[in-house]
């Protein structure tokens, strides 16, 4: 039973590490290719929230996954991520949809945003909120975090694989020595 559990844990760890590596490499490639464009993975754009303007629904440090949306599908109450004319990325709730754009407001703000979010500047609607995952993403994207969460588990996996193969080889060799 213990070996099955260990094998399942190793399988999960391997899949997690490989998916993390692919995601990080893909995101890094996309970010370097066009620094002004938010990297997308299967149509979702992961972003870390920096302020508490959308609290209590979204807090600073949360990660949001933003999905592209057609202008006509955006309605009052949707949480929208858009780029301002100053090239800042903002995530606020739609207070009103107009032909000229969207009037938005942070849930934790007293007043609506000063400028309308123009349809051409809309990145998408918030599809998922992952509480505190932005902190983890920031840590993983650092050299220390990458070492701890990607390289270390990968090296651990390699060491366990090597140990298991050497043990199997020595056991097989011992069994054949007893037969002769």
**pLDDT, tens only, 126-156:** 999 999 888 877 777 778 877 777 788 788 8
CA nearest to 86, candidates 62, 113, 108, 59: 113
Residues 77 and 127 both lie in one domain: yes
Residue 176 lies in a domain: no
Angle at CA of residue 108, ends 105 and 112, nearest 5° = 25
Provide the domain limits for residue 66: 38-131
Residues 79 and 145 both lie in one domain: no
164 contact partners, CB below 8 Å, separation of at least 6: none
Residues 80 and 10 both lie in one domain: no
| Residues constituting the chain | 180
For every residue of 26-94, DSSP letters joined together read HHHHHHHH-TTS---BTTEEEEE--SSTTTTTS-TT-EEEEE---GGG--TT-EEEEE-TTS-EEEEEE
Residue 175 lies in a domain: no
Residue 177 lies in a domain: no
Residues 42 and 119 both lie in one domain: yes
**Mean confidence (pLDDT) of the chain:** 86
Residues 82 and 109 both lie in one domain: yes
Residues 9 and 94 both lie in one domain: no
CA nearest to 22, candidates 44, 41, 35, 9: 41
Model confidence, pTM = 0.68
Residues 121 and 161 both lie in one domain: no
Residues 33 and 47 both lie in one domain: no
**What is the number of structural domains in the chain?**
2
- Higher pLDDT, residue 33 or 113: 113
The pLDDT > 90 percentage for the chain reads 44
């Amino acid at each position: 039973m213990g070996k099955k559990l260990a094998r399942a844990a190793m399988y999960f760890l391997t899949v997690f590490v490989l998916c993390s590596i692919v995601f990080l490499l893909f995101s890094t490639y996309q970010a370097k290719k066009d620094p002004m464009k938010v990297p997308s993975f299967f149509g979702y754009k992961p972003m870390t929230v920096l302020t508490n303007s959308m609290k209590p629904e979204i807090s600073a440090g949360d990660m949001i996954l933003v999905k592209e949306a057609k202008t006509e599908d955006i309605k009052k109450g949707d949480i929208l991520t858009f780029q301002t004319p100053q090239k800042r990325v903002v995530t606020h709730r739609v207070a009103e949809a107009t032909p000229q754009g969207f009037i938005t407001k942070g849930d934790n703000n007293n007043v609506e945003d000063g400028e309308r979010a123009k349809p051409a500047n809309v990145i998408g609607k918030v599809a998922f909120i992952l509480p505190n995952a932005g902190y983890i993403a920031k840590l993983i994207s650092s050299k220390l975090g990458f070492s701890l969460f990607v390289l270390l588990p990968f090296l651990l996996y390699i060491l366990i694989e090597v140990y298991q193969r050497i043990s199997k080889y020595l056991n097989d060799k011992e069994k054949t020595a007893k037969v002769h």
